[in-house]
Chains A and B, each alone.
Chain A
């Protein structure tokens, strides 16, 4: 068991916060710009890490959790691979997705009908290499399954986007990037970088205070996407 775990941890897809071997440049890889200039500016590589898991933690549905990734998804949907939505909490509304620039002919919607099935579906979709991005709303997700998904994302060269409740922020996660979204009627959407692989661990402040120093953890108010 321990041996299997060690073997697993040897995988390049596994990031360990205290691993001295991990240097920022090693995990650079390719990145997918979100299209939001101020957000891309604080993300290493200038965007979401491809071939990796990104967690998007948010409170209620409808605060802009899709808005953050929509320009990136629209671009990816026109790159010849697929966008999979797995266990979405509501009906993904085709006219709105199309209006955001998504190529609907490249969208796959999966209703797995159960937590276990959902994780299995996400893993399949990530690892087969046919999806440029896999968006998932898993009802349950432990550390172990997140690691599997991280490996699958790497194997399939796929962008894994997991949408989870804010409460998940206190759980450990092997995801390469963890963003927390906040919004209220009086405040525009804010994005907090909770964890980001590729930035030396010391510079990442987990559960960072919004008013912290000018580091990667500073919240970003979303303006309109950068043109082009």
Chain B
């Protein structure tokens, strides 16, 4: 087994969308001290551990948020969903780490180095930083990651040697306990591990002993697989209220990454998703996009949302982004593809792209396919269907039909019984009597003719047998 640990060192700051890269100085505070600061704050000289009051004195216009463990745990869940593109087995190591069992996926990703690169690249895209470590036991991977030791431990016989060198501060312990350990003359995990087990348990507690034993692989280290919820809802705060679309995109990409990661894990896709632009306490602006078959390609969804975003007026500043999916659709797994995106037939892809692009900009009801309907009344002998659903139907055996049909028959003027349309009409063919429909109250009784105008337009006209002398234009032979 190989475990990969992602330790999100900047999770408190990253849980606020893009605060890390914001042009203003930002700090997350805990108690009266600075817990984390963004790049701008660091450049101004603010450091973690500093009194918040001192930081305020350094940077006028300092933005602050109190550390919120809940915000962090929501962010960690979202990252778990995102990370499920790399492994079907993920467990949470709160508050800031994820553990991925990667033994089964290494081959798919083309080996360890290629997989690490994919993870790093993916993290860049969703604007997160993490220490990435790999070790035979989850606890060891976690300790190494906390220490920032990113050289993979691939062989079990190397594990003890590598763990021995990790400082005891990597253990998630209260400062006074770390001090107690230091008091025993132990500075590295190897020093602790060298103590007799009984003595260690007596002095520092059984849980710590268990942690060490798990790390060294001397005791089972079972993990609970993280289970993705079946509907999807995620949100992210925008640190500075904005109407700039380019500042919203990283947040949207982050949420879509989390969504699509979860969908992959569920072997599912979405056909509709809602993106909420929150404006403080004002009503939310919803952007809804649809696809005409289930999908989970984050770039595709991002480009659809982008079209909506460009088209939306964005009346007020956005304070928070959310994504909501009410229904997920299962996707039949493709044979060649363990976890990644399906690479369907390119031709079919382009077709779906076209229909989605048109539908999202114009409204889906404006994109139609045509089908023949088995019905004598001309106005009911065809139907619109959703694109892609029309079949190549048999051609009804009737007299010639016009290529253009009027939505509603147009009453023609007539002089001396001769119908007029751009001048007097000359009948060329007919009549074809169409008489039917008594059962649904829309019965008709008409004699259809082909007629020609002086300008050469060939028309499909009928004389209503119910209204003697009344002529109607119903289509154009084009």
Query: Knowing A60-B422, A62-B478, A107-B370 touch, does A90 contact B406 (C-beta < 8 A)?
Result: yes
User: Per-residue CB proximity of B183-225 to A under 8 Å, as 1/0?
Assistant: 0000000000000000000000000000000000000000000
Question: Chain B 448-466 against A: per-residue CB contact (8 Å), 1 yes, 0 no?
Answer: 0000111111110000000
Q: Is the CB of B478 within 8 A of A63?
A: yes
Residues from chain A with Cβ under 8 Å of B54 in the complex = none
**Contact A62/B361 with A95-B395, A95-B398 known, Cβ cut-off 8 Å:** no
B372:A62 contact, CB within 8 angstroms: no
Which A residues are in CB contact (< 8 Å) with B393? Answer: 98, 104
- Assess the A61–B398 pair: CB atoms within 8 A: no
Residues of A within 8 A of B390 (CB): 104-105, 107
Q: Of all chain A residues, which has the CB nearest B352?
A: A130
The minimal Cβ–Cβ distance linking B457 to chain A, given in whole angstroms, is 4
* Chain A residues whose C-beta falls within 8 Å of the C-beta of B357 in the assembled complex: 124, 128
| Residues of A contacting B371 in the complex (Cβ-Cβ under 8 angstroms) | 94, 104
Question: A100 is contacted by which of B363, B384, B403, B457 (Cβ under 8 Å)?
Answer: B403
A82–B388 Cα gap in the complex (Å)? 10
**Contact across chains for A81 and B454 when beta carbons are under 8 A apart:** no
Instruction: Specify which chain B residues have a CB less than 8 angstroms from the CB of A59 in the assembled complex.
Output: 455
Let me know if B362 and A91 touch, CB within 8 A.
no
The reply to whether A109 and B478 form a contact with Cβ atoms under 8 Å apart is no
Q: Are A92 and B422 in contact (CB under 8 A)?
A: no
B interface secondary structure, majority: mixed
Find out whether the CB atom of A98 lies under 8 angstroms from the CB atom of B362.
Answer: no
What are the residues of chain A within 8 A of B403 when measuring CB–CB? 66-67, 70, 92-93, 96-97, 100
Q: Which of A31-39, A112-120, A205-213, A220-228 has 4 or more CB atoms under 8 Å from chain B?
A: A112-120
Q: Is B372 in contact with A94, judged by CB distance below 8 angstroms? A: yes
Q: Is B358's CB within 8 Å of the partner chain A?
A: yes
Q: How far is the CA of A102 from the CA of B378 in the complex (A)?
A: 19
Residue of A nearest to B423 (CB): A185
CA distance A117 to B311 in the complex (A): 12
Q: Does A129 reach chain B (CB closer than 8 Å)?
A: yes
Report if A125 contacts B (CB, 8 A): yes
Q: Does A177 contact B (CB under 8 A)?
A: no
**In the bound complex, how far is the Cα of B452 from the Cα of A121, in angstroms?**
34
Closest Cβ of chain B: how far from A213's Cβ, in Å?
26
A41 at the interface (CB under 8 A from B): no
Question: Is B455's CB under 8 angstroms from A65's CB?
Answer: no
Q: Which residue of B lies closest to A187 (CB)?
A: B456
- Within the complex, the shortest CB–CB distance from A175 to chain B, in Å, comes to 20
Question: Residue B477 at the A interface, CB < 8 A?
Answer: yes
Provided the pairs A95-B372, A99-B395 are in contact, do residues A124 and B354 lie with their beta carbons within 8 angstroms?
yes
Residues of B with C-beta under 8 A to A64: 456, 458, 477-478
Output the least CB separation between A128 and chain B (Å): 5
Say if the beta carbon of B347 comes within 8 Å of chain A: yes
Complex Cα gap A64–B402 (Å): 11
Let me know if B456 and A93 touch, CB within 8 A: no
In the complex, which residues of chain B have a beta carbon less than 8 angstroms from the beta carbon of A107?
A: 369-370, 390
Interface residues of A in 157-197 (CB under 8 A from B): 182-185, 187, 189
Scoring B370, B387, B406 by chain A CB atoms within 10 A of each residue's CB, the highest score goes to B370
Name the residue of chain A whose CB is nearest to the CB of B397.
A99
For A125, the chain B residues whose CB sits under 8 A away are 354, 358
Assembled-state Cα–Cα distance A93/B361 (Å): 26
Q: B407 at interface (Cβ–Cβ under 8 A)?
A: yes
Chain A proximity mask over B303-321: 1 for CB below 8 Å, otherwise 0: 0000000000000000000
Question: CB-nearest residue of chain B relative to A81?
Answer: B347
Report the minimum CB–CB distance from A154 to chain B (whole Å). 16
Contact B475 A63 (CB under 8 A): no
- Report Cα–Cα, A120/B382, bound state, in Å: 28
Docked-complex contact A96 and B370, CB < 8 angstroms: no
Q: What does the 1/0 interface line of B356-378 toward A look like (CB < 8 Å)?
A: 01100111001111111100001
Q: Does B401 contact A (CB under 8 A)?
A: yes
Question: Across the interface, which residues of B come within 8 angstroms of A60, CB to CB?
Answer: 422, 453, 455-457
Central interface residue in A93, A100, A128, A184, by most chain B CB within 10 Å:
A93
B475 is contacted by which of A93, A108, A184 (Cβ under 8 Å)?
Answer: A93
Of B373, B381, B426, the residue contacting A185 (CB under 8 A) is B426
- Chain A residues positioned under 8 Å from B475 (CB to CB): 90, 93, 96
Given contacts A185-B452, A185-B453, contact A91 B407 (CB under 8 A): yes
Q: Is A17 an interface residue (CB 8 A)?
A: no
Beyond A82-B351, A92-B405, A107-B390, list 20 extra A-B contacts (CB 8 Å).
Answer: A62-B478, A81-B347, A90-B406, A91-B406, A94-B381, A94-B383, A95-B398, A97-B370, A98-B393, A104-B371, A104-B390, A105-B391, A107-B370, A108-B355, A108-B368, A108-B369, A109-B368, A110-B358, A129-B350, A130-B350
A residues near B, CB below 8 A?
A: 59-67, 70, 80-82, 88-100, 103-113, 117, 120-121, 124-125, 128-131, 182-185, 187, 189
